[in-house]
A and B are shown apart, each in its own frame.
Chain A
Amino acid sequence: MSATGIGAAVRRKEDLRFITGRGQYTDDVIRPRETRAVFVRSPHAHAKIKNIDTSAAKTMPGVIAVLTGAELANDKIGNLICGWMIHSKDGTPMKMAPHPALAVGKVNHQGDAVTVVIAETQVQGRDAAEKVKVDYEPLPAVTDPAKAKSGPQIHDLASKNTIYEWSLGDAKAVDAAFSSAKHVTKLDIVNNRLVPNAIEPRAALAEYDAGMDQLTLWNTTQNPHVSRLVIAAFVGMAPEHKLRVIAPDVGGGFGSKIFIYPEEVVCLWAARKVNRPVKWTADRSESFVTDAHGRDHVTHAELALDANGKILAMRVKTIANLGAYMSTFSSSVPTYLYATLLSGQYDIPQIYCEVDAVYTNTVPVDAYRGAGRPEATFVVERLVEVAARQMGIDPADLRKRNFVKSFPHQTPVIMAYDAGDYNASLKKALELADVKGFSKRKREAARHGKLRGLGYSTYIEACGIAPSQAVGSLGCGVGLWGAPKCASTRPAAWKCLRERMPTGRDTRQLFRNLFQSGLAFRSRMSPSCMAIPTKCSSEWAPTARAPVRSACRRW
């Protein structure tokens, strides 16, 4: 192991429970007197609900309750929300349509939850769900984002199904640069929709303690704190101190388990109503139509270059499909996380990006693996690649000519790059890929009837984007945080009690790695608390001690 621990193989503390079958995922948590929730979902993309008849379902064996959206509304359970405000070019706020956890009057995508059956067992719940009679009147639907504005209106408050029309950059400066360009590359790009498909289906287990008037939710969540905040403060389920959200082991999420979903709201509400724990676990078919999807952009992009292949400006117009409802962070993905990285690794003097977010009759779309950033890279790299081919310039060479070479570098889309050596990375990649030997390999492949290709892509990533000065400049003020629980056992040693962090990472391991590597970091956690495994106390770097101690004092 190196002196710092960086690059060293680390045996993970969490592995033992996973390889012996003793992990504890949400569906593995079993509470006394637990019941099962089974949802009745819309088979239609868009339909009016004319009537819901639950009478037959209520008489089925093992059924405890059959609940509808009307009852949810009667109990004053609020809508799910999108937490990131975006304003349109004209200054108007985004059009956030009501998103009840159970549909009222109308369904807006296939899989929209209409009714929930609470039963003693899963199979009894399923049998009863089949007896719920929903009378639908199908409506015309729109699923293609490019046709959303001319499609049937989905929500009353969003005319032309438009959520916002946002822009970033200087349109006039970009127009001027294009007018002086020697070459302009124009592209139409579709970045298709993806289904995240974590291997562990989403699940929620809610329990109500009537004596303490306290709700507890075990949930397949990547961020229990945001979940508690949204469900308490916005959905209005309970005051925040009366709701505890626990993220046990989580079997993958890739973003899709960040968001607050209807099912956990319904389980909490139902647990209080029937005064028994309520568990829901998605089956795979349900996952496809209820987990937030990713991407789904339709883009027209243009790149202006001078005669030497120097990029002068970029113009991008994207239609982003956010689906039938605005998921928790959906508004930020095609804006904060997308347009701000359109400069890629290149020195582009002017960029103007317009993003129109639209509703369609599809599953909601939110952050997925990279969230906006891969979409931006796809646009930039396709533009550069096609420009190189059109201008007869080697694609690697065109990239080299346009790389940012002096740092710090301020892009026209708010980001400031502090350091980098993109030439060095490309040079190494060309060597590793043996680009010089490519034509020989291509000829060899052709002799065997095979086609061999060579492609390039560069990438830049903005991690942990908020809270930060950068996105603060766009009006964003939120971030994600955690609260590991720690305790003092003696003055110089702290023990981490709360060890789990979603998606297979262990908080204790994280802190151990941080301190072994001697990295100092400032605590931005709330409650302001950091924890260090006792064993690592002798290895703390002096620079790390002060902020940790001060953080712990605050806690």
Chain B
Amino acid sequence: MPAVSMTVNGKAVTGDVEARTLLVEFLRENLRLTGTHVGCDTSQCGACVVHIDGIAAKSCTTLALQCEGAKIVTIEGLAEPNGPLHPMQEAFREHHGLQCGFCTPGMIMAALDIVRRRGNDLDEHTIREQLDGNICRCTGYHNIVKAIAAGAKAMAKGGARQAAE
């Protein structure tokens, strides 16, 4: 089996994978980083979104070998285990942007990518449009949209620790 090396949440990791091993399988099964979820395995639901070299990507349709040498950030990499939450995580908690929590890691990772691309002052229309690759089945999107708008603003204010990239 070929070996693959990458940096995940700031740590260098190496693993033997099959050519067909998906990035999400490598993260969940090899590295035991189970915060990244698989909802649809077809790129539609966005529960598997991680950052590859700073850009949001769906890890359920990315091969692990494609990420050779890449810097990966997952939901576990946004805040230190006992440190303060990332402003976007805090905003999701404050605005009740989740119920069952399964889509939440993907939502937060996608939200950070929206901020990267569209800035910190996001209107509702922009957020809704940009979130079309992420599905929530519990509550609808109202509070998620509110959380992203507030999280984006908080990132600007707080000198925003960006994701560990």
Contacts and interface: CB of A to CB of B under 8 A. Distances in A.
Interface of A: 9, 11-12, 14-25, 27-28, 30, 122-123, 197-201, 249-252, 254, 281, 283-284, 503-504
Interface string B123-155: 000000000000111100000000000000000
A23 B35 contact: yes
B144 to A, nearest CB: 12
A252 B137 contact: yes
B105 A252 contact: no
B137 A197 contact: yes
A28 B34 contact: yes
Nearest to B21: A123
Nearest to A18: B101
A283 B41 contact: yes
A9 B93 CA distance: 11
B39 A199 contact: yes
15 contacts: A12-B93, A18-B101, A19-B105, A23-B101, A25-B102, A199-B103, A199-B135, A199-B136, A201-B38, A250-B100, A251-B101, A251-B103, A281-B38, A283-B41, A284-B40
Given A16-B93, A201-B39, A284-B40, A503 B99 contact: yes
What class of interface size applies to chain B in its complex with A? 35 or more
Contacts of B40: 284
Contacts of A14: 101
B89 A199 contact: no
Contact of A503 (B36, B37, B108, B138): B138
A20 B92 contact: no
Given A198-B137, A199-B45, A20 B101 contact: no
Interface stretch (B51-59, B64-72, B74-82, B113-121): B74-82
B37 A251 contact: yes
A249 B76 contact: no
Contacts of A20: 35, 75-76, 78-79, 85, 89
B74 to A, nearest CB: 7
Contacts of A18: 98, 100-101, 104-105
Interface of B: 18, 20-21, 25, 28, 32-42, 45, 47, 74-76, 78-79, 85, 89, 92-93, 96, 98-105, 108, 135-138
B53 to A, nearest CB: 20
Contacts of A281: 38
Top 6 A-B residue pairs of the complex, sorted by shortest distance between their CB atoms: A21-B35, A18-B101, A251-B102, A21-B75, A504-B100, A28-B34
Given A19-B101, A20-B78, A21-B33, 8 more contacts: A19-B104, A23-B101, A27-B28, A123-B21, A199-B100, A199-B138, A504-B99, A504-B138
